[in-house]
Chains A and B, each alone.
Chain A
Amino acid sequence: LNSRGVWLTYIILVFVLHFILLSIPYITTSVAWTLTTTIHNLCNYYLFHVVKGAPWETSDQGRARRFTFWEQIDDGVQWTGTRKFLQIVPVVLFFIASFYTKYDKTHFLINLATMLLAVVPKFPIFFGVR
């Protein structure tokens, strides 16, 4: 995640997701943004806070096996650049989605709920909490 181009790719993937949803004829812009936010936050939560271990054999005698992806980033050091970036993306998506849904209540609640799902586990206080 620290490699060059990963953050840009992450943003591109989010916009490709939105682009795919937007190109489905019967989906309106606000539904597209809410769907983008929801799918992104659910995948983000699953990938960073549910999956444990590394997808390849590591040479740390299985130490990484107990940690989620999020806990393994930068060897557990908090508030690094990558962590801040991954923390901010759901919030920015939430603001964009709220704007495009013209602050409609239903959309707002859905976006808020999934945004909290993606942001709250990233707080340092929840590090290692099961």
Chain B
Amino acid sequence: LQYLLNTALYMLEPWERLLFSTLLFAILSTALYSALVFL
């Protein structure tokens, strides 16, 4: 609930929440991957 409220996803429809969370997860995982490759 804190995640939904602070990112304002609380107001969105389920598919929009899923879309945004997937995007966020994709960004963080590529960042992690790049950091590993780089390091």
A23 with B37: CB separation less than 8 A: no
* Residues in chain A near residue B31, CB distance under 8 A: 19-20, 22-23
| Cross-chain pair count, CB within 8 angstroms | 18
* Residues in chain A near residue B27, CB distance under 8 A: 19-20, 23
Q: Would you call B30 an interface residue if the criterion is a C-beta within 8 Å of the partner chain's C-beta atoms?
A: yes
Q: How many residues of A contact B (CB 8 A)?
A: 6
In the complex, per-residue mask of B13-39: 1 if CB is within 8 Å of any chain A CB, else 0? 000000000000001001101110100
Q: In this complex, what residue of B is CB-closest to A22? A: B34
In the complex, how many angstroms separate the beta carbon of A12 from the nearest chain B beta carbon?
A: 14
In the complex, how many angstroms separate the beta carbon of B29 from the nearest chain A beta carbon?
A: 9
* Residues in chain B near residue A20, CB distance under 8 A: 27, 31
Q: Roughly how many angstroms separate A19 CA and B30 CA in the complex, as a whole number?
A: 10
Q: In this complex, what residue of A is CB-closest to B29? A: A23
In the complex, how many angstroms separate the beta carbon of B24 from the nearest chain A beta carbon?
A: 10
Q: In this complex, what residue of A is CB-closest to B31? A: A23
Q: Roughly how many angstroms separate A25 CA and B37 CA in the complex, as a whole number?
A: 8
* Residues in chain A near residue B34, CB distance under 8 A: 22-25
In the complex, per-residue mask of A1-45: 1 if CB is within 8 Å of any chain B CB, else 0? 000000000000000000110111100000000000000000000
18 CB < 8 A contacts A-B:
A19-B27, A19-B31, A20-B27, A20-B31, A22-B31, A22-B34, A23-B27, A23-B30, A23-B31, A23-B33, A23-B34, A23-B35, A24-B30, A24-B34, A25-B30, A25-B33, A25-B34, A25-B37
